Amino acid sequence: MKMYLISDNIDTYTGMRLAGVEGVVVHSREELKKALDEVLADREIGIVLLTEKFGRDYPDLVNQIKLDYKTPLFVEIPDRHGTGRKPNFITDYVNEAIGLKL
């Protein structure tokens, strides 16, 4: 089982390549869609790392892929600029999920 990176910047791609993870750098929705189609066609890929920018810019595409496919596992990772999430995102997520304010 292999890991694969789909990144929006060359720095994240280079860092992951140094760790032995293959991948691709894409900048548009069409390029992302093509990269996702290629990943889904390769049965050896078990984990796909996506930089968080794709989840923010194309949530419909990313969320649909996550819902429709059991494998590979899609994981959003921060890029070189850090995470784009709010400092209390875990608390907000739990509040939304169970309906209780913590």
Q: What pLDDT is attached to residue 80?
A: 66
Spelled out in words, what is the top-level CATH class assigned to the domain 2-81?
alpha beta
Of 18, 29, 20, 6, the closest CA to residue 75 belongs to 6
What is the rounded CA–CA span in Å between residue 56 and residue 53?
5
Q: CA 30, CA 2: separation in Å to the nearest integer?
A: 24
- Confidence band (pLDDT; 50, 70, 90) for 93? low
What 8-state DSSP symbol labels residue 82? B
CA gyration radius for the chain?
15
pLDDT in tens, 23-81: 999 999 999 999 999 999 999 999 999 998 888 889 899 989 888 888 899 998 887 66
Task: Count CB neighbours of 59 within 10 A.
Answer: 10
The pLDDT, as a whole number, for residue 66 is 87
pTM of the model: 0.77
∠ at Cα 58 (57, 63), nearest 5°? 130
